[in-house]
């Protein structure tokens, strides 16, 4: 179990698509100041868990709790207002806009709701600096490497000053060097109190960054624990060996 204060919890969420149970009675928790991993082979249900947490997907049963409050019925925008932000596996950026404008637009939307007053340019600059994007701020997103475009997505999410940041395969397409810088940035964000949840296929990265890891296989939670516990779990080894064998067939 996480050591920080639990911010988000799912209690027995189940999601079905027709006859297929994509997520089966899943309990996961994410704590303030910690990076939590959500891993599993392709199709295990990771993105569907994210979608259920952020409100894009309604569960057939189970509950989502934020700060102990049941938010299962809340819309994605209400959840965002309560401090959730996410990135997507497929980049959802404005390719013809600059890095700065892609980041700025998220703050612009937030400001237009009138809920928060802040200097948009100042906050944009702070977030660009924080995420190491200042040197490419004026380049169009279509012109930058995909690994850095992933960081632009994270920067955009940070514009809303979230308490929980859900990242769907943020290191995919990054070079080794980009991933090292990215890892350091995530560690820094968590040290400031942010709860981070990472869906990622780069297992060494997950093992290095996460204090708690939840493992899904065919929609079911097969293990939760520290990296050391996960590495030794027979269920996890079996799930991943199964994938390796399938990949070599």
Ligand X SMILES: Nc1ncnc2c1ncn2[C@@H]1O[C@H](COP(=O)(O)OP(=O)(O)OP(=O)(O)O)[C@@H](O)[C@H]1O
Work out how close the CB of 185 gets to ligand X at its nearest, in angstroms, rounded to a whole number: 23
Which CB sits closer to ligand X, 22 or 190? Answer: 22
- Is beta strand 61-66 parallel, antiparallel or unpaired with respect to 69-70? antiparallel
Among 22, 93, 194, 215, binds ligand X (CB under 6 A): 22
Q: Which of residues 28-87 bind ligand X (CB under 6 A)?
A: 40, 42-48
Min CB(65)–ligand X separation in Å = 21
| Residue placing its CB nearer to ligand X in the complex, 188 or 242 | 242
- Measured CA distances, 105 to 99, 122, 163, 205, 208 (Å): 10, 13, 19, 30, 33
Min. distance of Cβ 47 from ligand X in angstroms? Answer: 3
Beta bridge partners of 13: 26
Between 18 and 68, name the residue whose CB sits nearer to ligand X: 18
Number of residues counted as binding ligand X (CB under 6 A):
12
Enumerate residues 97-156 that contact ligand X by CB under 6 A: none
Pairing of strands 195-199, 164-168: parallel
Q: What's the min distance (Å) between Cβ of 172 and ligand X? A: 10
Joined together, the tokens standing for residue 64 give 């989502």
Q: Which CB, 46 or 79, lies closer to ligand X? A: 46
- φ, ψ of residue 41 to 5 degrees: the values are -60, 170
Q: Which is nearer to ligand X, 118 or 240 (CB)?
A: 240
- Whether 213 contacts 50, CB under 8 Å: no
Task: For ligand X, give the closer residue by CB, 89 or 211.
Answer: 89
* Pair of tokens at residue 235: 């269920």
C-beta of 239: minimal distance to ligand X in Å? 12
Euclidean distance between the first and final Cα of the chain, in Å?
Answer: 37
> At closest approach, how far in Å is the CB of 109 from ligand X?
26
Binding site for ligand X (CB under 6 A): 17, 20, 22, 40, 42-48, 89
């Amino acid at each position: 179990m996480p050591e920080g204060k639990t911010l988000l919890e799912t209690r027995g969420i189940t999601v079905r698509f027709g006859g297929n149970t994509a997520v089966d009675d899943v309990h996961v928790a994410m704590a303030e100041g910690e990076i939590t991993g959500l891993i599993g082979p392709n199709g295990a249900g990771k993105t569907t868990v994210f979608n259920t947490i952020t409100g894009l997907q309604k569960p057939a049963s189970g509950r989502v709790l934020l700060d102990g409050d049941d938010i299962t019925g809340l819309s994605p925008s209400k959840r965002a207002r309560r401090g959730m932000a996410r990135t997507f596996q497929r980049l959802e950026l404005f390719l013809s806009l600059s890095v700065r404008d892609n980041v700025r637009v998220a703050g612009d939307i937030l400001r237009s709701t009138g809920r928060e007053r802040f200097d948009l340019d100042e906050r944009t600059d702070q977030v660009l600096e924080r995420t190491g994007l200042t040197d490419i701020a004026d380049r169009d997103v279509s012109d930058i490497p995909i690994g850095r475009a992933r960081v632009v997505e994270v920067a955009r999410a940070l514009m809303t000053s979230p308490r929980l940041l859900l990242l769907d395969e943020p290191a995919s397409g990054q070079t080794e060097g980009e991933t090292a810088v990215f890892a350091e940035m995530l560690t820094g964000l968590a040290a400031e109190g942010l709860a981070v949840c990472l869906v990622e296929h780069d297992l060494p990265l997950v093992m290095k960054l996460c204090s708690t890891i939840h493992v899904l296989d065919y929609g079911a939670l097969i293990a939760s624990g520290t990296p050391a516990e996960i590495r030794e779990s027979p269920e996890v080894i079996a799930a991943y060996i199964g994938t390796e064998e399938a990949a070599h067939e």
